[in-house]
Structure 1
Amino acid sequence: MKKILIIFVALFMMIFNVNALEITSEHAVMYNLNDNKIVYEKNKDEITSIASLTKIMTTLVAIEQIADINKTVVLNNSMFEGLYEAEAAVIGLKDGQVLTYEDLLYGTFISSGADATRALTISLAGSETNFVKLMNDKAKELGLVNTKYINATGLDEIGQISTVDEVARLLKVALENKLFKTIFESRSYTLSDDSMTIYSTLSNTSIRYGLNINSVVGAKTGYTDDAGFCLASVGHDKTNDIKYLLVTTKAPISFEKANHLEDAIEVYDYYFNNYKYYNLVDKDAKLLTFDTKYSKLKNVSFKAPYDVKYYSDSSFNKEQVRLKYNGPDVLKPFTKVGKEIGTLDIMYGDQKVNTISVTLQEKVPFSIIQFLKSNIVIIILIIILGRIIKKRKRKKKTIKRYNRRYRKK
């Protein structure tokens, strides 16, 4: 009864804790990157516009297409056609300006310049349309079945869609690329022609609204009428050394407050303060004791080769930790040290958290004395049986000799 009550209270606390978060964004998903597991979600699989979060894919595909990031590109006005009419965010690139691919990557991502995006995609693929095909091919390769790109800038357009979960999955892949990760985490960048220093939209937004973003490692913002305020970011809980990846879309548009960034700060702060890893098993803790057979050691133990941790909120209860061993209970000599004996499931309640390979950690020496003691009855029986057999053989021989003598007479 006590166990059932503890489980009920733990589940209630976890549900209550998640519901305690009230963010303005209509769609959200957050991954614990340490475990690669979803820890928070809100309409994560609903189709949504993603505004400039599109540029996550734009940047990744561009990096994969660029052989030399220092190669230069001569810009021309045709690259910027229609951007000003669409009121797209630009960084102010000019006709005839000569920039490197690296400049255009940073201009595309950290300051979300549509002019940099156009120059980047056209110079790499001949046209934005051709480049978008590469983006959709990459989405297909990654299994992003609900993601479709019509343009590379993220401007609202019918059919330009994704989900926050697919954006998160894409970002996780992109962050495996060293150059992308560097760009993602950058707050500023000076163009190679020294014409300007650009700043990340994350930095600009936090300064404008006086928000503390010390826990945010890197981010991509977005904004259109259809998508609302959007944000894809990574936050680091330095106290517990846990990294989270959060994607939100459709936060209410307001020029009085940064709803998307406030949502991120609220979610991060909540998880930083309420969730951490608890040790189910400590390294070197004695987990199992085995009896031995035919050895001078009465028993040998198995110690945990590493810590086994469990991610939980403050409802964690050490009493719910259970060990489930699968293997022999008695060990014999001549088993090699390091050989797997069995497995040990580390359970929290009914959930299997980890399976440890149980190996022999110390030698089980053979003892002739213990062998004899353990088998004394069998040895005595063998001796008695041997004597009986020997006695019978002698008796048979005696009978045979007697019969021979009797026949001769």
Structure 2
Amino acid sequence: MKKIGLTVLVIISVVLGSPSTLLAHHESNHDVVEASESESLDLAPNSASAILIERDTGNILYDKNSTEKLPPASMTKIMTLLLIMEALEKNELTLEEEVRISENAASMGGSQIFLEAGEEMSVNDLLKGVAIASANDASVALAERIAGSEQVFVEMMNDKLEELGLTSTKFQNATGLPADDHYSTAHDMAVMAKALLKYDDITNYTSVYEDYLRKGSENEFWLVNTNKLVRFYDGVDGLKTGYTKEAKYCLTATAEKNGMRTIAVVMGAENTKKRNSDVSGLLDYAYAKFETKPLFDKNQTITTFEWLKADKQKVDVVTSDSVSVLYSKGTDSSQFDTKITINKDVTLPLEKGTMVGKLQVVDGEEVVSETDLIVLDDIEHANIMQLFKRTFQSFF
């Protein structure tokens, strides 16, 4: 096993004055872990495009035409789910809220939970409909609730792509129903899935094989997961299937075994059997060849500093995501170091989740991974009484 060292490059001074602007930062490590045999193997023989990554590091374990632009079908809903989870995190939406279904949402074809115009359903149940049954009507209902219209929601989807640095995807709707100029790649779907999986609660929905909506009522609806691997492959707990005549059969799947979470994407398979076979083969390869060592949990405190002018004088700086190192099984371990950089130029107020630094895992001179460090709470300016009390206490 590799030993973990800790090197702090920059630590904020004991008392901060008036820090300045902060640039947005995203994890950037998507290097391929060297595995010579994978270059000659076709691990997804039934798919036009495929990719396999380890979630924490973003390392690519296998790639087959992963940048080819293809219709993603209902895998589009990975982005829809990501924006739903963000709205829940920001308290712009609650699971208990009842959403009134519009004529537009109720009119969606394809996979659906047969919502009726004027019906009200909780966000929690609509989320089940999207995550388990790939319901187009539930997707549009939540999109309309969050953005006011599906059109505006689609603009949010495409803005999020830009934020994630994804340039080979464009969305025209929240469902994945066939539309001109609606496309993605296996690579981009994997990155979206990686972002979605920051929300631990999402797998509470995507891992469910069957459930019911409107249980006990005359219009009770039986939900059955479109991703059969959640039942038949140990460790699989999501994420999203897709099918249209043009896209053929697609799947973005995630599994967790022995503390290592992987994401496998396949696009353009001829049937569900071949699609599931390719994903299973990719996951088998990942867990046979690689393993991870966890370093930090999500939201783990990395350092704490005092901020005289903030309402919370002691501010915890935490990891924005879990941090691990990935290596091939049986390889001789070398030294990993952890380097922490805290940005000195930060201004009040700060919103929950604001990036204030970064944590790098390095192997010699090579940066293995990079993770944002954030604040967990909103931080405002201290009021006059707080400043007076702190000044008074400093004399004793």
TM-score of Structure 1 vs Structure 2, range by shorter chain: 0.5 to 0.7
Percent identical: 28
Distance in 2, matches of 1:128 and 1:353, equals: 40
1:63-99 Cα deviation digits (max 9, x unpaired): 3334222111232444233x34xxx111222344321
SS at structure 2 position matched to 1:110? helix
- Out of 224, 238, 251, the position equivalent to 1:199 is 224
Instruction: Note the aligned Cα RMSD (angstroms).
Output: 3.2
- The amino acid of 1:226's aligned partner reads E
Deviation at 1:13, TM superposition (A): 7.6
The 5 Å alignment of 1:151-170 reads 151-170=173-192
- Out of 118, 122, 125, the position equivalent to 1:103 is 125
Contiguous gaps of at least 5 residues in structure 1: 1-10, 279-307, 325-344, 355-409
Equivalent residue, structure 1, for 2:208: 186
Greater RCO structure (CA 8 Å; 6+ sep): 2
- The amino acid of 1:311's aligned partner reads Y
Deviation at 1:153, TM superposition (A): 0.7
Distance in 1, matches of 2:115 and 2:44, equals: 40
Question: In the alignment, does 2:328 pair up with 1:312?
Answer: yes
- Out of 247, 252, 263, the position equivalent to 1:232 is 252
Q: 1:271 to 1:263 in 2, by over 3 A?
A: same
1:315-370 Cα deviation digits (max 9, x unpaired): x4x5xx7889xxxxxxxxxxxxxxxxxxxx978xxx9698xxxxxxxxxxxxxxxx
SS at structure 2 position matched to 1:271? helix
Contiguous gaps of at least 5 residues in structure 2: 1-32, 294-323, 337-361, 369-396
Equivalent residue, structure 1, for 2:280: 265
Alpha-carbon contact 2:82-2:196 (below 8 Å) kept: yes
The 5 Å alignment of 1:10-409 reads 14-15=36-37, 18-19=40-41, 21-65=43-87, 66-81=92-107, 83-84=108-109, 88-191=110-213, 194=216, 195-203=220-228, 212-238=232-258, 241-252=259-270, 254=271, 257-276=272-291, 311-312=327-328, 316=331, 318=332
- The amino acid of 1:236's aligned partner reads E
Deviation at 1:277, TM superposition (A): 6.2
Distance in 1, matches of 2:155 and 2:34, equals: 47
Distance in 2, matches of 1:266 and 1:221, equals: 17
Q: Which has the larger radius of gyration?
A: 1
Deviation at 1:248, TM superposition (A): 1.4
Distance in 1, matches of 2:246 and 2:102, equals: 30
TM-score under structure 1 length normalisation: 0.59
Alpha-carbon contact 2:57-2:326 (below 8 Å) kept: no
- The amino acid of 1:46's aligned partner reads E
Q: 1:18 to 1:191 in 2, by over 3 A?
A: farther
Q: 1:268 to 1:137 in 2, by over 3 A?
A: same
Alpha-carbon contact 1:235-1:245 (below 8 Å) kept: yes
Deviation at 1:246, TM superposition (A): 1.0
Deviation at 1:192, TM superposition (A): 5.4
Alpha-carbon contact 1:168-1:232 (below 8 Å) kept: yes
